[in-house]
Amino acid sequence: MCQDCDRFSTVPHRCPHPAGREAGTHPVVTAGQQLITGREGGPGSYTVTTASEVVRTSAEADDGERRAVARLLLVEDDDALAEALTLALRDLGHEVVAAGSGEGGLELLALGEPVDLLLVDVMLPGIDGFEVCRRVRARSTLPIILLTARGDPIDVVAGLECGADDYVVKPVEPRVLDARIKAVLRRSASTPGQEVVRIGDVTIDRAAMVVTREGHELNLTSTELRLLLEFADHSGQVLTRQVLLRRVWDYGYVGDSRIVDAAVSRLRSKIERDPANPELVLTVRGLGYRLAKP
């Protein structure tokens, strides 16, 4: 906590100082570090001793002045990293609930903990992040971002095939993670036009955001639904992987095309009669994908 500008920062920063004080760079407060009490009275009052207490006190003081961007469930077994991420994400306007294990995260969800998005580390003891993702996805369309220290293509694809909406390789700059969170939430909240679209025996009700096949509702994630709608809006047209990354994932840069391939594979497993021989979402070798015309 900077005692001069009432700002909690996860990175060193410069700020104006009262007369008689030297200008300089303020250090960050690390997880568990003891703090000196700041100003007394008013919203900037901090009668606390630890970094986590600073955030709680600050959040209480600001309650009513701003609403959280999103309520996140962070599943991370490294206590120091979990606290650092929690502090950084709260500083960026999110509410964060943390669990130290896959079992703990699943229990919180089972108890009805209100969550907008799940951030889960892959390398967890006991139930790992992949299994957490599978179990959540089996009963929910809750947006999921995997956090992994391994950028190996096999791990990335495995995570996406488990139903994750995105993956982030650690270490990650908090503002980059914040941008990825917001992009996933935008996809989840998007509600395109009010109409019914039929593709073979698949029906998309845009108003209700429900997809059925032969009358049976399909459990699509928000990303899978956006991907299907993108295909439906451009039926018969070839959509390259980079176009899909930009339109569906909100990636304004050259992203990893494996995200698209894994999502298409998941989508086919739900809408195709025979996913190994797709009739609806077709591969255009060397280019991308297209939806067969009705």
Query: Could you list the residue range(s) of the whole structural domain that residue 37 is in?
Result: 1-65
Q: How many domains does the chain have?
A: 3
Choose the final residue of a domain: 39, 65, 91.
Answer: 65
238 and 156, same structural domain?
A: no
Choose the final residue of a domain: 189, 218, 252.
Answer: 189
232 and 287, same structural domain?
A: yes
Residue 87 sits at φ, ψ, to 5 deg, of -60, -45
61 and 72, same structural domain?
A: no
Gap between the Cα atoms of 226 and 264, Å rounded: 11
165 and 102, same structural domain?
A: yes
pLDDT in tens, 38-72: 333 333 332 333 333 333 333 343 444 445 688 99
162 and 71, same structural domain?
A: yes
pLDDT in tens, 211-270: 999 889 998 888 888 899 889 888 888 999 988 888 888 765 555 778 889 899 999 999
Cα–Cα distances in angstroms (integers) from residue 104 to residues 33, 74, 89, 129, 210, in the given order: 26, 10, 20, 12, 31
133 alpha-carbon distance from chain centroid: 12
Structure tokens at 77: 């077994």
Residue 115's closest CA among 35, 184, 33, 46?
Answer: 184
Choose the final residue of a domain: 11, 31, 65.
Answer: 65
CB within 8 A of 250, min separation 6: which ones?
Answer: 183, 186, 187
List the CATH number of the domain containing 123: 3.40.50.2300
DSSP symbol at 293: P
